[in-house]
Chain A
Amino acid sequence: MARFSRKIRQAEEEPELNMIPIMNMFMVLIPFLLMSASFFHIKAINTSIPIHAEPPANSIAQKESRKITVVLEIHPDQVRISALSDTPNDLKLTAMETVLPRGSGKEISVAAVSQHLLKMKQQYPDSDTMILIPDEDVTYHEIVRAMDCARSYESEALFPNVVLSGSLG
Chain B
Amino acid sequence: MALTKRKRLSRTFVPPKLMLTSMMDMFTIILIFLLFSFSEEPEKLQLGKDLELPRSTAEVGYQKALKIILTKNELRINDEVMAQVQDHKIVGLEPQDLKASAFFQRLKSSRAQDVDQPGTAPEASHVLFLCDKSHSFKTINNVIKTAGLAGYPNFQFGVLEEKN
Instruction: Report A's interface with B, CB cutoff 8 A.
Output: 19, 22-23, 26, 29-30, 33-34, 36-38, 40-51, 134-141, 143-145, 147-148, 151, 164, 166
Interface size for chain B: under 10, 10 to 19, 20 to 34, or 35 or more residues? 35 or more
- Interchain CB contact (< 8 A) of B61 among A22, A36, A44, A50: A44
Asked whether A42 lies within 8 Å of B144 as measured between CB atoms, the reply is no
Nearest-neighbour CB distance to chain A for B136, whole angstroms, equals: 5
Asked whether B161 lies within 8 Å of A43 as measured between CB atoms, the reply is yes
Please classify the interface of chain B as helix (H, G, I), strand (E, B), loop, or mixed, using the class held by over half of its residues: mixed
Q: A22-B24, A26-B31 are in contact. Are A45 and B138 (CB under 8 A)?
A: no
Instruction: Report B's interface with A, CB cutoff 8 A.
Output: 20, 23-24, 27, 30-31, 34-35, 37-38, 41, 44-45, 47, 53-63, 126, 128, 131-138, 140-141, 144-145, 147-148, 153-161
Residues of A within 8 A of B148 (CB): 49, 51
Q: A42-B159, A44-B159 are in contact. Are A137 and B137 (CB under 8 A)?
A: yes
Asked whether A141 lies within 8 Å of B134 as measured between CB atoms, the reply is yes
Residues of B within 8 A of A38 (CB): 37, 41, 44-45
Q: A38-B41, A41-B161, A46-B60 are in contact. Are A135 and B156 (CB under 8 A)?
A: no
Asked whether B134 lies within 8 Å of A42 as measured between CB atoms, the reply is no
Residues of B within 8 A of A141 (CB): 54, 133-134
- Interchain CB contact (< 8 A) of A37 among B37, B57, B136, B158: B37
Nearest-neighbour CB distance to chain B for A125, whole angstroms, equals: 22
Residues of A within 8 A of B156 (CB): 44-47
